Structure 1
Amino acid sequence: MTDVIGSIDVGAVLRVLRRQADLSQRELADRSGVPKSTLARIEAGWGAEPRFGTVERLVRAAGGEVAIRRPGRAGRGITSGVADDGLRDDRPRDDGLRDDDLRDDAGRRYPPHLDARKVRKLSDWPGAWWAHWYTLPPERWPLRVPEVTYDLDRRRRDERRWRERIRQQVRLRRDPDGLPATSWRLLAELPDGAPVGELRAHQRSDDLLLGDDLGDRREIVLDGVLVAPDARLLGIGRRLVALLTDEMERAGIRTARAVAEFGEVRFLVACGFRPEASRPTALRLDRRVRPGRG
């Protein structure tokens, strides 16, 4: 089994598994019965290759599995107990860097289970110790703000990871059940069918209102956009409006209208609507006509 273990980076695998299980080195060492110093050496790649029994205890304590395969079979010797691709951490990162690329001033890796991230703006970290410096220019900061930070609060880490999973997994679709062809109900759902957002709209025509045939004067009226409180600020509302514009293109309708107040106005403007002089604010979105579409 030395060849199997040696064919992969055991230290990198353990860091990924610890991140998935949200375990520190000390916590994983306590669960597995392996000394923390031994775990640290394995993850750092120091010393001789670890014994198979040691690796197995660490992997199982982190929620993974150790698989033995015949030579020539595709795959690796260690897998996650959650998914086939458990050796990879597929969560998108804000800074585009892997955890192994992030080091502190002493050249040490940051604990992978803490989700270290680069500090781009102070406002990205409202609970950090530098929060009261938001309004100060950088030259007046009393201390140097670190380039990388992380959250020690496990509850916040779990919440952030849950929101990131929603961002990745949410799927949008039109639900035509029980609605006429001139009405739209667009849903944002998780893979298990749980709804996290909804948009409703209907079609109107000035020809019908005026009782005259003035050509195609159809418009869409936006009835409302709802997003679950825990899933807000993830771009789901914008994606629903973008799906509506795709539906407008398929239906050959160019204009959508909405009436909104306060924060709703800012949201619709960010989605491309233009405010008109009225209160409550009336807004209008004109879909761009693609070349060759008339």
Structure 2
Amino acid sequence: MAETADRVDLGGSLRALRRRADLSQRELADLAGVPQATLARIESGRSGDVRFRTMERLVRAAGGRVAIGTPRAQASDHTSDHVGDGTDAQASDHTGDLTGDDRVPEVVPVPRVPHDGLRDEAGRRYPAHLDAWAVHGPRDWPGAWWAGWWKLPPQHWPRRLPAATYELSRERRDHRRWGTRIRREVVVRRVTDDGLPDTCWRFVAELPDGRLLGELRAHERNPRLLYGDLIDAGEREIVLDGVLVAGPCRLLGIGRRLVEALTVEMERAGIRVAHAVADHGGVDLLLACGYRIEGRGHYAMRLDRASQPCAGPATA
């Protein structure tokens, strides 16, 4: 935080650090040796004068550090025996080493709690270390979707939906946050330098460090191969060969982003038609991307040599 001491949101900073450390109020209070009631008052803004030592213990227990010094630009203009006019009180989850004329460590701001604006029916905030979200329909509420009554019309719902809900399981919470990070960092691009023919299209979804999370392959087809001279020679079509996404990264929207990237490239190339054969989840994926099911003869074919009886040696 780059805020002066009289403008630091102590409660918000503690809630953000506590969320990053995935600690409840009771857990952080026990680690810091501070009464939970004290921590609750600080986070709610009801504690007007917080002792510095108390705040430092809480910040350190949550994995952060408190730094006090002159602003960086100001410090570089003064010698070591001159004290600046102002100070910055900074709470962070990381600090760098002091180098040269720097007087304030490098500070990485802690992201605010994303659901701080939500309140329960009593007007209270949801716990900072949990994941809370607004409920707009039964699909948003874990208490409804598994029972199947989300398929009913609203007048037949057996219970009233809450305004918001939250995730208590730490394992599911970690997976949810991991998925959010993957969605934010994954990059989808078309590969054009791997020796493929110009009629072969390849798209990859990867992280900034190069780890491959998904891949789409397709190829161009001239309809004249199927319909002869009945089709304009200039027409081109795309055949979608397959979309693959790493198992842990499925249901994160990566497959959809790959298909949408293909659609964008089709528009740039002036290609208007794409064909695909899909089953199971692949059908839902393509339907969500604007494809439609055609009522003509595609068959799923399989060759299983292991199930066929061994033929005897050929005789002349």
Query: TM-score if structure 1 supplies the norm length?
Result: 0.80
In the alignment, what sits opposite 1:6? 6
In the alignment, what sits opposite 1:26? 26
Q: Return the letter of the residue paired with 1:80.
A: D
* Structure 1 residues 225-264: aligned runs within 5 Å: 225-264=243-282
For residue 28 of structure 1, report the CA deviation from its aligned partner. 0.8
For residue 72 of structure 1, report the CA deviation from its aligned partner. 7.6
Are 1:276 and 2:294 counterparts?
Answer: yes
State the secondary structure of the residue aligned to 2:215.
strand
In the alignment, what sits opposite 2:125? 109
Q: Among the aligned pairs, what percent are the same residue?
A: 58
Deviation per residue, 1:106-128 (Å, 9 max, x gap): 22211111122222222333456
1:142 and 1:254, CA in 2 relative to 1: closer, same or farther beyond 3 A? closer
In the alignment, what sits opposite 2:36? 36
In the alignment, what sits opposite 1:80? 93
1:129 and 1:207, CA in 2 relative to 1: closer, same or farther beyond 3 A? closer
Q: Return the letter of the residue paired with 2:48.
A: A
Q: Return the letter of the residue paired with 2:91.
A: I
For residue 209 of structure 1, report the CA deviation from its aligned partner. 6.7
1:139 and 1:252, CA in 2 relative to 1: closer, same or farther beyond 3 A? closer
For residue 85 of structure 1, report the CA deviation from its aligned partner. 4.9
Indicate conservation of the 8 Å contact 1:5/1:52, yes or no.
no
Corresponding residue to 2:162 among 132, 137, 146: 146
Mapped to 2, the partners of 1:206 and 1:279 lie a distance apart of 17
Mapped to 1, the partners of 2:145 and 2:271 lie a distance apart of 51
Are 1:49 and 2:67 counterparts?
Answer: no
Aligned-pair Cα RMSD in Å: 3.1
Q: Return the letter of the residue paired with 1:266.
A: D
In the alignment, what sits opposite 1:219? 237
For residue 129 of structure 1, report the CA deviation from its aligned partner. 10
For residue 201 of structure 1, report the CA deviation from its aligned partner. 0.6
In the alignment, what sits opposite 2:184? 168
1:281 and 1:85, CA in 2 relative to 1: closer, same or farther beyond 3 A? farther
Indicate conservation of the 8 Å contact 2:66/2:89, yes or no.
no
Query: TM-score if structure 2 supplies the norm length?
Result: 0.75
State the secondary structure of the residue aligned to 2:121.
coil
Indicate conservation of the 8 Å contact 1:198/1:227, yes or no.
yes
Indicate conservation of the 8 Å contact 1:171/1:191, yes or no.
yes
Mapped to 1, the partners of 2:71 and 2:279 lie a distance apart of 66
State the secondary structure of the residue aligned to 1:107.
coil
For residue 178 of structure 1, report the CA deviation from its aligned partner. 2.6
Q: Using the TM superposition, name which of 254-263 and 172-181 deviates more.
A: 254-263
Mapped to 1, the partners of 2:196 and 2:108 lie a distance apart of 41
Indicate conservation of the 8 Å contact 2:216/2:243, yes or no.
yes
Indicate conservation of the 8 Å contact 2:215/2:243, yes or no.
yes
Uncovered stretches (5+) of structure 1, i.e. residues with no partner: 91-97, 283-294
Larger radius of gyration between Structure 1 and Structure 2: 2
Mapped to 1, the partners of 2:198 and 2:220 lie a distance apart of 9
In the alignment, what sits opposite 1:202? 219
Indicate conservation of the 8 Å contact 2:188/2:203, yes or no.
yes
State the secondary structure of the residue aligned to 1:103.
coil
Q: Return the letter of the residue paired with 1:18.
A: R
Mapped to 1, the partners of 2:246 and 2:143 lie a distance apart of 23
Q: Return the letter of the residue paired with 2:121.
A: D
Corresponding residue to 1:119 among 123, 130, 135: 135
Q: Using the TM superposition, name which of 44-53 and 80-89 deviates more.
A: 80-89
1:30 and 1:128, CA in 2 relative to 1: closer, same or farther beyond 3 A? farther
Indicate conservation of the 8 Å contact 1:174/1:185, yes or no.
yes
